[in-house]
């Protein structure tokens, strides 16, 4: 359905070099080097305000870096130049505060497919709603849904597009254990069965530990440490990482 980048495992899907993003002269993201590879389940953790959502918006091409190089699948983003549509369509994002259309669950999930001119998608929408456990609510208006249901519609709307890269900004914040488990299962399935690259921003360090292969710890816009999950949690190289993952960092 959508274009894919056909990268091998060794080629990064994202490569950031000296990427900064500033607002009103304040640098909120400042990444020296970061490479993310196809098929990874990569988590970004860090305190509130550390720049996690901003970093995801950069990776979703919604914002431009203020300086530095952001490469996606070998394509280098240039200031003032739109990223080609076929590359943008490889990536979908679920926002921290999802905005849904004031219509039914079904209409929300099919919307992105329609925008892409994809017809005859009844089975795909149906299957996606089943995946997120919402098939029985397909005709319900989204304004009447619970918080957990809204999060699942937002996820369904993204995964129905079968993206190569899925960016998730706190997809389980404020959800009960049932919904957390359900959404985590979907992330793992997409990653393991469909080889979707999943980049997960989460406050929940236990979630990062459960799901991710590698984890990045962001503090004041900078990457303190990027490591495989086992190392980052059991033998972090930086004392600030150790303080954060042990819950000692006060923020
Ligand atoms: N459009 C904007 N204009 C001005 N400042 C912004 C803008 N977007 C983000 N910021 C600021 O950048 C900093 C980083 O914000 P960001 O939303 O990326 O943090 P976060 O790590 O996602 O935090 P949280 O965990 O609370 O979601 C914050 O201080 C925020 O106020
Ligand atoms: Mg955020």
**pLDDT per residue as tens digits for the range 52-68:** 999 999 999 999 999 99
Closest protein CA for atom 31 of ligand 1: 49
Look at residue 173 and tell me if it is in a domain.
no
Residue 222 belongs to a domain with what CATH number?
Answer: 3.40.50.300
CA gap 26, 17 in Å, rounded: 19
Look at residue 19 and tell me if it is in a domain.
yes
pLDDT per residue as tens digits for the range 141-189: 999 999 889 999 999 999 999 999 999 999 998 788 988 999 999 999 9
Residues making up the chain, counted from first to last? 251
Look at residue 28 and tell me if it is in a domain.
yes
CA gap 105, 152 in Å, rounded: 10
pLDDT per residue as tens digits for the range 188-229: 999 999 899 999 999 889 999 999 999 999 999 999 999 999
Q: Give the distance, in angstroms, between the CA of residue 75 and the centroid of all CA atoms in the same chain.
A: 20
Residues having CB closer than 6 A to ligand 1 are: 23, 28, 46, 48-54, 96
Ligand 1 pocket test, pick from 49, 97, 169, 170 with the greatest ligand atom count within 8 Å of Cβ, gives: 49
User: What is the pTM for the complete model shown?
Assistant: 0.94
* Ligand 2 centroid distance, CA of 80 (Å): 25
Look at residue 36 and tell me if it is in a domain.
yes
Separation in Å, CA 201 to CA 23, 55, 113, 221, 238: 21, 10, 25, 14, 20
* Ligand 2 centroid distance, CA of 52 (Å): 5
Domain that holds residue 36: 10-87+209-246
**3-class secondary structure, 104:** strand
Look at residue 215 and tell me if it is in a domain.
yes
Q: What is the DSSP letter of 141?
A: B
Mean pLDDT value of segment 90-105: 94
Dmax over Cα atoms in the chain, in whole Å? 54
Look at residue 239 and tell me if it is in a domain.
yes
Look at residue 181 and tell me if it is in a domain.
no
Look at residue 131 and tell me if it is in a domain.
no
Counted domains in the chain: 1
> CA angle at residue 155 from 48 to 45, to 5 degrees?
25
Q: Can you name the residues that pair with 91 across neighbouring β-strands?
A: 165
């Amino acid at each position: 359905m959508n274009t894919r980048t056909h990268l091998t495992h060794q080629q990064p899907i994202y490569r950031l070099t000296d990427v900064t993003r500033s607002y009103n002269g304040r640098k909120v993201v400042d990444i020296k080097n970061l490479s993310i590879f196809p098929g990874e389940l990569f988590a970004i953790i860090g305190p509130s305000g550390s720049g996690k959502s901003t970093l995801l918006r950069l990776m979703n091409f919604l914002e431009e870096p203020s300086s530095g190089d952001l490469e996606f699948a070998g394509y280098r983003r240039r200031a003032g130049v739109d990223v080609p549509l076929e590359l943008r369509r490889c990536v979908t994002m679920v926002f921290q505060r999802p905005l849904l259309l004031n219509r039914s669950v079904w209409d929300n999930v099919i919307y992105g497919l329609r925008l892409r001119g994809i017809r005859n998608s009844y089975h795909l929408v149906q299957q996606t709603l089943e995946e997120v456990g919402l098939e029985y609510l397909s005709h319900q208006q989204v304004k009447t849904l619970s918080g957990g249901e809204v999060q699942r519609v937002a996820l369904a709307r993204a995964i129905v597009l079968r993206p190569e890269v899925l960016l998730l900004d706190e997809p389980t914040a404020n959800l009960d254990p049932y919904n957390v488990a359900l959404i985590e299962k979907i992330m793992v399935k997409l990653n393991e069965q469909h080889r979707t690259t999943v980049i997960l921003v989460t406050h929940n360090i236990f979630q990062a530990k459960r799901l991710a292969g590698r984890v990045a710890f962001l503090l004041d816009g900078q990457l303190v440490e990027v490591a495989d999950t086992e190392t980052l949690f059991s033998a972090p190289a930086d004392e600030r990482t150790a303080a954060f993952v042990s819950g000692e960092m006060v923020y």
